[in-house]
Structure 1
Amino acid sequence: MSVISSQPKKIIIIGGGSAGWMAASLIHKAWAKKGTKILLIESDVISKIGVGEGSTPSLRLFFNHLGISEQEWMPQCNATYKCGISFPGWTNTDDPAFADYPAYIHPFYSQADWKTGNAFMHNARLRREGVDVPAHPDNYWLQSYLAKSFKAPIARQQLSDEMDYGYHFDSALVGDFLKKRLLNMGLNHLTDTVDGVELDDSGQISSVITKRNAAQSADLFIDCTGFAARLIRQALNVDFVDYSDCLFNDRAIAIQSPIDCSRDIPSQTTSTALSAGWAWQIPLSNRYGNGYVYSSKYISDEEAEKELRKHIGPSCLGEKARMIKMRLGRLSQHWHKNVLAVGLSQGFIEPLEATALMLIQHTVESFISSYEDMQLSKRDILAQQDIYNSQLNEVFESIKDYIVAHYRLNSRTDSKYWCDNRENKNNSARLKALLSAWSTPGGDFEAELHRHNAELTYFAPSWYCLFSGKGHFPTSLNKPSANTKVAPTTEIIKYCHQVSKQFYNHNEQLEKVYGERLDIL
């Protein structure tokens, strides 16, 4: 396929949901005014997964890029603010080595954390070497204090450094919001089901056959058909790289429960370890989203639902449960021939760190940039696809390693699931090197992060929070010598408490954005 322009003439997106409408939004922004025709075909008989209800800070950049304010989209999607993710229950607090680490928060950090964050990493380095200094991450990051005091990551007065943050939201409503916006902007849309695919002599897709609107042809097709991967796998037979040897979970059960908006709404996701996986709790302005991500090898669906309901409590009585089968892994090629896979069709890493929408956004944005660069560089399309797929696969692998590390670093001994996860040796060379460097006296952990490109998606502070938050330090500790420089944790705690007072209460900030009281919505 030769390069004839810096953007395709016609694009067909198959599938709606978050993936389809986010892809359509970004492509419309980049190419619609340059003459690219965009058609989104959305089935009304295929159900959407739609349980990803948390984000990383990249979603804020997504809406900013589209020129959409928080006042415009958040009330339409029952959205709230997110300062980070809390991880209770991942350690064995009956063991004295982990007694002081029952939970920790993986925060979103900003320039405001530069000094306190460096202090945390300094103390963590000392504790790794057997020096008895405080190194729990929650003491050093401002957003940990905001989350624990039900604050929004929005200051009452402009700070010198703006905070970074994520959101909680109803993912189905995000798709609906973007759909309505694009249809008002004139995007072409068909409600129909793809029954077949036609290939040309070169093996590319020439058209898709719809149930009610016959054949639809295009230069480029975007596969947003979820786990079915209707185009990229069923039609083009692209290989799938399975992650089940290192990530055991293959099921999720989702249950909603009510929220009392007359009380403080949390500004954090909570991911609590249960017997055969972990449970999420995500606060929206109208309800809680709850779920259990687990392995069917260690617990039945019925037992998992029972355990989740017990964990949630009586508030979920009478609420329906939805079970979702998951396939964890990624494609070997996300952009193949004239098809780009986006969302679940390209792969899935369990939602422990809420990376699903970030991957959708990154996939599409980097594709747009790559496609345009292909024209400027005069590079052959196959060479450009190789570069694109290699870089995107490295992003998937980097996220996978960070997620796997959560399980490898657990210290629970109460179930075979947790013991098997901790003992599992099916890890990448990168993760093995990081685990070794952290636990080896004198090991240069940060050098290993750089050497293995481990900071592609998670910077050093996140890796330090992960290892330190789960209490992975020597059991034998010595008092610091007179010459040892120790970061002043007590002063840092006072400082963070004082600064956190400058931020809006979460409910108060939401009511500013919504323009009305939450408890009467």
Structure 2
Amino acid sequence: MSQPIRKVVIAGGGTAGWMTAAWFAKTLKSDVEEIVLVESDDIPTVGVGEATTPYIQVYNQVLGIDEAEFLKFTGGTYKLGIEFEGWGREDNRYFHPFGAFGRDFGALPFHAAWLRHALETPSDSLEAYNLQAVAARAGKFMPPTGTNSPLAEITYAYHFDASLYARFLRHMSEAGGVTRIEGKIETVLTDDRGFITGLKLNGGRQVDGDLFIDCTGFRSLLLGEALGVGFEDWSHWLPCDCAYAVPTVTTTPPLPFTRSIAHSAGWQWRIPLQHRNGNGIVFSSAFMDEATAVSHLMSSLSEPALAEPRRIAFTTGRRKKFWHNNCVAIGLASGFLEPLESTSIMLIQNGIARLQYLFPDRAFEAADIDAYNAEMTREYEEVRDFLILHYHVGQRQDSDFWRYCQTMPIPETLAARLALFESRGRIPPERGEQFRTGNWLAVMWGQGLRPRQADPLALSIPHADLSRSLSDIRQVIAACGDRMPSHDAFIQHYCRSTIGMKQETPNG
């Protein structure tokens, strides 16, 4: 007979903890008796990640979050993609947009036909075939509208204040029945099987439970420290290991995209919110000292800083297991992949949704645990490969850092993917990956990777027909972009931030 989980204990708050609490409060309210979140106000959260991927819309929709209310509360703006500056070459600039490029030519995927054209006409811009890229360059935004048009398929994500998002979700969670316990975890109690039985807090309090979710950040207090699950280090492929973050005032209308600006030992970010801008520098301490990094960051700011830069040290990689016995790690406790493609929150929500699908009873069946670990491992490795692509493919020769990245051995999975593209411009068909054909196309082409020849099947299209079809696609996308309002005008009308005014408790 099944023994249902009666009590879920979430260790740690922040974005990961409150995303988990809010999701379970919504989806498991009739399945478990109690959901408890333990956090200490004395332990700060990282709270830097302010850019997301489009998958966050699914999370918000499941929770019934009103988009305008959420953006007002968090100072949020819209994101249509990422502009990369200095990646591939020092003078290079390209856009990695959300959404698909163009339209397929019957059974032939769009990228195969376009690559044939681009090899013959190198001046043609890939960005002209993606509405998100065209709109972002023009500073425009609108949500999907209509049918049978690129305007009906607009794909977007958000920029927001991560600490305010966690607060927003805390309100939702507590309204949904989650109990928050303030306290610092001093001891993780386990039985002779290696299962967690409870958390001993400062002051002698104890929180017992059946299923424990580790959201304690880089420390991984439950899964890593208490249960001894090791860490797989990927810093030989992703050598950046330190960041400094600093907010600045905002003096211009926010643009609908994130900026990623490469420097001699890593990169910088610029994320526009309604009430401030997020800025930061990511670098490898093996190739740049911290004083130089901070000086580079502060000298590059275009507006006054609102605080002193905050240091964040990290090691890229993942736990060797994400779920062990009755403990599942979510967020930084499970691993870290640097914020280059804004994947942190995506990995959190996918871990939560996957846990709900494989939600255990107190028997904690090995088949469920093994399936969860296999799927999370696959996902982390796919994101890892996509991030390595940015560093490995390029021609920058201005520093030892970039020379190392270009010559380092890479995972076999990525090497096979690059070889396939370099041969005939082929991109493997999607198998549920988070980064799809258009994502790989934008970054590989933007980084300067070129196929030696076109896909043979693309050569059968008459040249005039191909040129005419591509011209039609460009014209339709340009016309759609012309119809869109400015990003700032849309925000002012739809979700102007309440930050700086009295912020009410969200109704979501």
1:298 paired to 2:278: no
Residue identity opposite 2:442 in structure 1: C
1:217 paired to 2:208: yes
1:431 paired to 2:417: no
| Structure-2 residue corresponding to 1:4 | 3
SS at match of 1:90: coil
Distance 1:251 1:67, change over 3 A: same
Which of 371, 378, 385 is the aligned partner of 1:387? 371
Residue identity opposite 1:104 in structure 2: Y
Deviation at 1:17, TM superposition (A): 0.3
1:55-204 equivalent positions in 2, closer than 5 A: 55-92=52-89, 102-109=92-99, 113-114=102-103, 119-125=110-116, 127=118, 130-134=119-123, 136-154=125-143, 158-160=146-148, 161-204=152-195
Q: Deviations over 1:419-454 (max 9, x none)?
A: 1111111x21110111222223xx4623xx24xx77
Report if aligned partners of 2:195, 2:326 keep a CA contact under 8 Å in 1.
yes
Deviation at 1:133, TM superposition (A): 4.6
CA distance in structure 1 between the partners assigned to 2:116 and 2:375 by the alignment: 31
Q: Deviations over 1:481-515 (max 9, x none)?
A: 99445344444333222101222311121122235
Which of 279, 286, 309 is the aligned partner of 2:275? 286
Deviation at 1:54, TM superposition (A): 0.5
CA distance in structure 2 between the partners assigned to 1:515 and 1:324 by the alignment: 31
| Structure-2 residue corresponding to 1:52 | 49
| TM-score, normalised relative to structure 1 | 0.88
Distance 1:54 1:482, change over 3 A: closer
Q: Which moved more, 1:332-341 or 1:184-193?
A: 184-193
Report if aligned partners of 2:420, 2:426 keep a CA contact under 8 Å in 1.
yes
1:357 paired to 2:340: no
| Structure-2 residue corresponding to 1:98 | none
CA distance in structure 1 between the partners assigned to 2:337 and 2:178 by the alignment: 31
| Structure-1 residue corresponding to 2:466 | 486
Deviation at 1:135, TM superposition (A): 5.2
Deviation at 1:108, TM superposition (A): 1.1
CA distance in structure 2 between the partners assigned to 1:437 and 1:145 by the alignment: 28
| TM-score, normalised relative to structure 2 | 0.90
CA distance in structure 2 between the partners assigned to 1:520 and 1:228 by the alignment: 36
CA distance in structure 2 between the partners assigned to 1:334 and 1:514 by the alignment: 37
Which of 184, 201, 218 is the aligned partner of 1:227? 218
Distance 1:516 1:336, change over 3 A: closer
> Any unmatched runs of 5+ in structure 1?
95-101
CA distance in structure 2 between the partners assigned to 1:107 and 1:457 by the alignment: 14
SS at match of 2:26: helix
| Structure-1 residue corresponding to 2:505 | none
Task: Give the number of equivalent residue pairs.
Answer: 491
Report if aligned partners of 1:119, 1:140 keep a CA contact under 8 Å in 2.
no
CA distance in structure 1 between the partners assigned to 2:83 and 2:182 by the alignment: 40
Residue identity opposite 2:479 in structure 1: Q
Distance 1:414 1:475, change over 3 A: farther
Report if aligned partners of 1:120, 1:135 keep a CA contact under 8 Å in 2.
no
Which of 230, 233, 237 is the aligned partner of 1:239? 230
Report if aligned partners of 1:207, 1:215 keep a CA contact under 8 Å in 2.
yes
Q: Deviations over 1:275-333 (max 9, x none)?
A: 110111000000110011110000011100111122223x2357411110012101111
SS at match of 2:29: helix
Which of 376, 401, 404 is the aligned partner of 2:385? 401
| Structure-1 residue corresponding to 2:491 | 510
Report if aligned partners of 1:271, 1:278 keep a CA contact under 8 Å in 2.
yes
| Structure-2 residue corresponding to 1:470 | 447
SS at match of 2:239: coil
1:249 paired to 2:237: no
Report if aligned partners of 2:425, 2:453 keep a CA contact under 8 Å in 1.
no
Q: Deviations over 1:112-132 (max 9, x none)?
A: 9545995454222454xx534
Deviation at 1:103, TM superposition (A): 1.4
SS at match of 1:286: coil
CA distance in structure 2 between the partners assigned to 1:165 and 1:46 by the alignment: 33
| Structure-2 residue corresponding to 1:99 | none
| Structure-1 residue corresponding to 2:22 | 25
CA distance in structure 1 between the partners assigned to 2:355 and 2:265 by the alignment: 37
Distance 1:483 1:84, change over 3 A: same
> Any unmatched runs of 5+ in structure 2?
503-508
Q: Deviations over 1:182-225 (max 9, x none)?
A: 22333211110000011112110111101135111100000000
Q: Deviations over 1:457-495 (max 9, x none)?
A: 211121111111122226999xx9994453444443332
Q: Deviations over 1:11-48 (max 9, x none)?
A: 11010000000000111111123343100001111111
Distance 1:64 1:358, change over 3 A: same
RMSD of the TM alignment (CA)? 2.7
Distance 1:341 1:321, change over 3 A: same
CA distance in structure 1 between the partners assigned to 2:480 and 2:80 by the alignment: 15
CA distance in structure 2 between the partners assigned to 1:343 and 1:118 by the alignment: 35
Deviation at 1:393, TM superposition (A): 0.4
CA distance in structure 1 between the partners assigned to 2:291 and 2:82 by the alignment: 27
CA distance in structure 2 between the partners assigned to 1:496 and 1:83 by the alignment: 15
Residue identity opposite 2:95 in structure 1: I
